[in-house]
Amino acid sequence: MKRWFNTAGPCNPAKHYTLPPTARLPNVKRLIDQESYFVLHAPRQTGKTTAMLNLAQQLTESGDYTAVMVSVEVGAPYREDIDRAERDILSSWQMSVEAWLPKELRPSDFRQTASGGRLSGALSAWSRSSSRPLVVFIDEIDALQEDVLLSVLRQLRSGFPTRPHSFPQSLALIGLRDVRDYKIASGGSDRLNTASPFNIKVQSFTIGNFAQADVEALYAQHTAETGQVFTEDAIAHAFYLTQGQPWLVNALAKETVEELVPNPTEPITTGHIEQVKEILIARQDTHLDSLAERLRQPRIQAVIEPIVAGSSLENVPPDDIQYVLDMGLCRRDHNSGLVIANPIYREIVPKNLAFTAIASLPAISPTWLTEDGTLDTQQLLDAFLSFWRQHGQPLLATAPYHEIAPHIVLMAFLHRVANGGGSLTREYAIGTARMDICLRYRAVTIAMELKVWRDQRPDPLKVGLEQLDKYLTGLALDTGWLVIFDQRSRQPPIAERTTTEAAISPDGKEITVVRA
């Protein structure tokens, strides 16, 4: 049967191009043999479920253990109703063991004890009756909240000392977040009466993204089965755009080979991968949509806003930084520090922040286009100045991140321009105090440097010209825009203070300075 690239649910090696999942879980077998309880956390769509399902099957097939993966996600709606949560969770577990285990290894029935002890009672009864040591992987643990999460953690802790004869020999909690965040979800560490909400765990670890060699190996499976080749440059570009994020790696390939280049005799090039990147960003499938939803969370905004603004992470709690890393929104770069996780996310983040502003834009006639559809840069500048003077002030109030509100409104305007047949890319990084924007429209490329002038700071003109020089050199351009948003207090209205002037950069490039 022909296999395909999977972007929905766990991978099945019989149906999907798949890398060996347990290779991404070093030393887990040792933890199980040592009767350890542990935590596996990683962002969504990174292969946690695939890996643990595969590991459970391998353990069971070895004849040494009865191993199964179950979920507690059905208990998520019941934050405080422990009774209903336990009943639904046990029903879900019953279906899982019937689906994954042979009849002789299943419990006869999950024991029904009093509310608040049903899960521990079921695991205890099954462990005592099982002909093999029991290993249980509990998925979606961080879907639970408050009293229900607190009850589940306490039940697991209470049974831990009786393992392996009267409780699972080894148990793993699997979710998006590390164990420290369970304290918040359960209502705080005081309610748990312990410094750690799961202090019986031996280790917390995560599943990393694919290396470039992994991407090459995954795509090579498609080549082996269909003959369709991914060029070396295409593979390298796919890795650059995704930084090995598994869902993105699969999504790029799936859209490319199934929709853009379905002819297996045609090789996949860098141009194809770049084109599909734009399709994914515009379409914003479930994975990317859920990413956008998180941007409104205060803990995430506290980190993402200064990154996009190019400012520093002042007074941000370390737990919030780690939380954003755990969510897969950011990664640590040895040169730049904390950065957005990959170039695709880097485009998605500001686009989504500008969503409300884009929806709020008034009708704008594309006066920047000539009769033959060419972009006229002077007409575009005039159109932006007119738009900003008339609509800038009210639109600033629609931006979800106050510190970068001017950037968001400008990007909303530029999205309207790009939607006519162009593209918009952005570069930003913590501590740079700037955002770079590149608008491409057919043969025309406009590079812009965005700066904000705040109270008690000098005019950013000089620094902005120096920074724009570097950006223009990288794009092989001789002209560009420097946009300075004056956010100092007690300034005249936007309509009165928006002006333009010509400047020459230190490298002799012609710069249009917009003071807005």
pLDDT in tens, 58-67: 999 999 999 9
Angle ∠(257,259,262) on CA atoms, nearest 5:
50
Give Cβ neighbours of residue 45 (< 8 Å, ≥ 6 apart): 7, 245, 246, 247, 287
For 200-217, what is each residue's pLDDT tens digit? 788 888 888 999 999 999
Query: Which of 73-77, 295-299, 322-326 has maximum average pLDDT?
Result: 73-77
Query: What is the amino acid identity at position 392?
Result: G
Q: CA separation (Å) from 513 to 63, 404, 447, 462? A: 72, 19, 12, 11
Q: Is it the case that residue 10 has pLDDT exceeding 80?
A: yes
Compare 13 and 115 and report the one with higher pLDDT: 13
Mean pLDDT calculated for residue range 153-165: 94
Q: Is it the case that residue 471 has pLDDT exceeding 90?
A: yes
Mean pLDDT calculated for residue range 309-321: 84
Compare 386 and 21 and report the one with higher pLDDT: 386
| DSSP symbol at 106 | S
Answer yes or no: are the C-beta atoms of 423 and 445 closer than 8 Å. no
Give the count of beta carbons closer than 10 Å to the beta carbon of residue 505. 21
Please tell me the predicted confidence (pLDDT) of residue 181.
61
- Cα–Cα distance measured from residue 20 to residue 492, given in angstroms and rounded to the nearest whole number: 62
Query: What is the amino acid identity at position 495?
Result: A
Spell out the long-range contacts of 392-398 with Cβ–Cβ below 8 A and sequence spacing 24 or more. Answer: 392/494, 392/498, 392/516, 393/493, 393/494, 393/495, 395/357, 395/360, 395/361, 398/356, 398/357, 398/360
Q: Is it the case that residue 495 has pLDDT exceeding 60?
A: yes
Please tell me the predicted confidence (pLDDT) of residue 180.
63
Compare 395 and 120 and report the one with higher pLDDT: 120
For 373-393, what is each residue's pLDDT tens digit? 999 999 999 999 999 998 888
Q: Is omega for the bond preceding 164 within 30 degrees of 0, making it cis?
A: yes
Is residue 27 packed enough to be buried (19+ CB in 10 Å), middle (13-18) or exposed (0-12)?
Answer: exposed
Please tell me the predicted confidence (pLDDT) of residue 360.
83
Mean pLDDT calculated for residue range 434-456: 92
Please tell me the predicted confidence (pLDDT) of residue 183.
55
Structure tokens at 117: 């002890």
For 42-62, what is each residue's pLDDT tens digit? 888 888 999 999 999 999 999
What is the side-by-side strand order in the sheet with 435-441?
A: 422-428, 435-441, 444-453, 479-486, 510-515, 499-504
Please tell me the predicted confidence (pLDDT) of residue 196.
53
Q: What is the DSSP secondary-structure string of 293-306?
A: HHTTSHHHHHHHHH
Q: Is it the case that residue 293 has pLDDT exceeding 50?
A: yes
